[in-house]
Structure 1
């Protein structure tokens, strides 16, 4: 739980009540997940995977992964 402390001044009870009401109305805030990233901005697509070696490797290199 958070605590409020008056550092300077001499607020009235009404001023403290107004401040507490405003802070309470703000609430804890909702944690939202960031929007999903577009596949177009995926940097992994720019990195080429190593080519396969061995018999039939040339044929497998044309297939999408």
Structure 2
């Protein structure tokens, strides 16, 4: 098999980082790369049936004829 030499993922341009600093930098860059375009799909919109706000009671509106309107669907 013909193997081509790989380019390094990171290259230190200035300074001499130790192993711990390189490991931290690699972890941060890998985490950012996976969250940006790692093939994640957009979250699906929530159905109105699953909306927790539907379980809340509508506010009471006192006034003339309110007792009749309380039994009517909205």
Q: What TM-score comes out, normalization by structure 2 length?
A: 0.43
Bigger relative contact order, structure 1 or 2 (CA pairs below 8 A, ≥6 apart):
2
